[in-house]
Amino acid sequence: MRLNELRDNQGARKTRVRVGRGTSSGKGKTGGRGVKGQKSRSGVSIKGFEGGQMPLHMRLPKRGFNVPNPKKLNAVNLGRLQQALDAGKLNASDPVNTASLKSAGVIRRELDGVRIIGNGELKTKLDFEVFGVSASAREAIEKLGGKITVLAPAPSKDDDDAKAEKKAKKKAAKKAEADVEETDTEEEALAEETASGDTDNEDNQSE
């Protein structure tokens, strides 16, 4: 083989379709874009539009709740910790935290913290300083006499009080608005009654 004989495999390079080159080419006239209209123009993107009908993605029911700023946590099983202990990568006397797990190769990145999951069996007493612990993992750790320090911020009492106060204010404002509307309705009814009485008096006097 010579350098001038080097070429791509058959079919590796395809010739670009040249549109608008006569009706006999198969891509003439409208050039494969169909008939006239908005979608036959360039730069048009109509996603989910159904001609004014409510689109499918809006008709379907919504379920659940998406947290706006979710935490990215490393989930670590108890069985994986025991493997690291057996391999000598984790020291049972040191607290298990993000830094120690990363140095032991149990996790790759620190992310926002570590959550311990109860899968597998832990045979060694360990102390934990982690973002969260599942109920089954907590039970297994405390059964061995381990200590757990949860680093996740717990909801404070001030936050609960603020929420309750805000709810009470909203309820009071709604009640006050309803009372005002009821008072206005009563005043309007009284005014109408007075006006009808005056009209009756005028009719009696004219008679």
CATH numbers and ranges of domains, the chain: 74-150 (3.100.10.10)
| Residue pair 83/122 in contact by the 8 Å Cβ criterion | no
Q: Which two tokens stand for residue 26?
A: 């198969």
Distance CA 81, CA 92 (A): 10
Backbone φ and ψ of 76, nearest 5°: -125, 125
pLDDT of residue 153: 73
Cα(145)–Cα(138) distance, integer angstroms: 11
Q: What is the pLDDT of residue 154?
A: 65
Predicted TM-score of the model (pTM): 0.49
What is the rounded CA–CA span in Å between residue 96 and residue 80? Answer: 13
Return the closest-CA partner of residue 106 out of 138, 130, 134.
Answer: 130
pLDDT at 202: 59
Q: What is the pLDDT of residue 166?
A: 85
Which residues is 128 bridged to in the sheet? 96, 148
Q: How many CB atoms sit inside 10 A of residue 77's CB? A: 18
The pLDDT score that the predictor gives to residue 126 is: 94
For every one of its 207 residues, what pLDDT tens digit does the chain have, with 9 covering 90 and above?
899 999 999 999 988 999 999 989 999 988 888 888 888 888 887 888 888 899 999 999 999 988 888 899 999 999 999 999 999 999 999 999 999 999 999 999 999 999 999 999 999 999 999 999 999 999 999 999 999 999 877 666 666 677 788 888 888 888 888 887 777 777 777 777 776 666 666 555 555
Phi, psi of 58 (to 5 degrees): -95, -20
